[in-house]
Structure 1
Amino acid sequence: MLKNALEQFRVMGLLEGTSLLVLLFIAMPLKYMFDMPEVVSVVGAIHGGLFTIYCIAIIYVTFVVKWPFRFAVGAVAVAFIPFGNFVLDSRLKNWKKVQTA
């Protein structure tokens, strides 16, 4: 299914990016509009775990794929921007095509 480190990283990035969006656009409004702070506790913990795994995946891919250091820094930076991982994923998909051509 996931044949190489780059594909595994892309999946992890999409999971982490989705958890950020759920935290920002579902859990936070539930906390502040409907007085449900426990939702942020649960979703925040899930997002924190996924972010930790994502950072480990960045380190792994940096060594396996032999990314330049700036790619690793950029991958960390996009994790803090809503929809950033989705933009990174599309760029990695195009980068992969260029690398295999």
Structure 2
Amino acid sequence: MDIKTASALHRLRLVSVPEALSFPALLIFGTLLSWLTDIDYLKMPLGMLHGILFLIYSVFLLDVWNRAKWPFKKVLMFFALAVVPFGGLYGDRLLKREEADSVIAARAREAADA
């Protein structure tokens, strides 16, 4: 793997935690707020924020799939982790290991070429 793959993994990691926390924090909070009070106008922007984070996560996941040449099962697993509440936190831990391995491999390749 090269350094561009490592940075694609890093981008995916950066968005995985906010996306993982946006479902329970934003959507459930907004729904409960609308049920318990008369505040209905917060549900749509909170849902939209979660949707935008999910779309960014999906685009970054496709970028990692393209650069890292992951098998389809692995991409499907990370997509499923994004759908499950708090699943992205586990995915972040897996991505952290993957990112560290790709940085080590890129640096070893640079040292071998020099």
TM-score, normalised to structure 2, is 0.75
* CA–CA separation in structure 2 for the residues paired with 1:35 and 1:82: 26
Aligned CA-pair RMSD: 1.8
Matched to 2:48, the amino acid is A
Q: Where do 5+ consecutive residues of structure 2 fail to align? A: 1-5, 106-114
2:40 to 34, 37, 42: 37
Deviation at 1:98, TM superposition (A): 4.5
1:78 to 81, 94, 99: 81
* CA–CA separation in structure 2 for the residues paired with 1:48 and 1:65: 25
Aligned to 2:67: 64
* CA–CA separation in structure 1 for the residues paired with 2:35 and 2:59: 32
1:9 matched to 2:12? The reply is yes
Aligned to 2:109: none
Matched to 1:17, the amino acid is A
TM-score, normalised to structure 1, is 0.84
Identity %: 30
Superposed CA offset, 1:12-53 (max 9, x none): 111211221222342121111123221110100111111111
Whether contact under 8 Å (2:26, 2:50) holds in the other structure is: yes
Q: Where do 5+ consecutive residues of structure 1 fail to align? A: none
Instruction: Pick 1 or 2: higher relative contact order, CA cutoff 8 A, min separation 6.
Output: 2
